[in-house]
Amino acid sequence: MTVLYVLICGSPAAQQVGRLVTAAQEIGWTVCVITTPDGRKFVDVPALIEQTGYAVRSTFKNPGEPDLLPPADAMIVAPATVNTICKWAAGIADTLVLGLLVEGFGKGLPIVAVPWTNSAMAAFPAFVEALDRLRRWGVTILWGEGVIPQFAPGQGEGLAAAMPWEAALIEVRKHLDEE
């Protein structure tokens, strides 16, 4: 059985992550949701626990504690903030989500990233360079015109329903079918 880790960052678009969970479960996958500390503010943790059957983790476990989640076969990080994209591309693993992304890449897992940010933040050179670096390394990035609506600062919440959850799942499935 395929285990998908859905990694959530702090964004209003995270509120609809249940759509991705449902779509993955409908094809028989096990889904585990992990959030950044700020990402946790945007999701309904009790509903996700009920939907997935697993704890929604946000922090590293203590030494000696058993893992609560099965090992991942693939990962989707969505919505991925500028903070997470830039840190990941720099190899910084100071949150559980970043640690899993760095480790998952090292294990050769298929990873799809769906950045969600306003046009002003998206114009920052470090973000653009980080996206390019991750693409060169083989990470699938769903970003840009025709994929993610571009929006001005303060307007992203009204577009959150446009998060391409299903497109991210399709991309992960392509990678797994290639293996």
pLDDT of residue 161: 86
User: Which tens digit of pLDDT belongs to each residue from 21-31?
Assistant: 999 999 999 99
Q: How confident is the model at residue 111 (pLDDT cuts 50, 70, 90)?
A: very high
DSSP state letter for 157: G
Distance CA 51, CA 139 (A): 28
How far from 179 is each of 74, 143, 154, 161, 176, CA to CA, in Å? Answer: 12, 24, 41, 32, 5
pLDDT of residue 113: 98
User: Which tens digit of pLDDT belongs to each residue from 137-178?
Assistant: 999 999 988 898 888 898 888 788 889 999 999 999 999 988
pLDDT of residue 53: 98
Q: How confident is the model at residue 179 (pLDDT cuts 50, 70, 90)?
A: confident
Strands 74-80 and 30-35: unpaired
Distance CA 100, CA 29 (A): 19
User: Which tens digit of pLDDT belongs to each residue from 44-97?
Assistant: 999 999 999 999 999 999 999 999 999 999 999 999 999 999 999 999 999 999
CATH architecture entry for 3-62+69-178: 3-Layer(aba) Sandwich (3.40)
Mean predicted confidence (pLDDT) in 98-113: 98
pLDDT of residue 155: 83
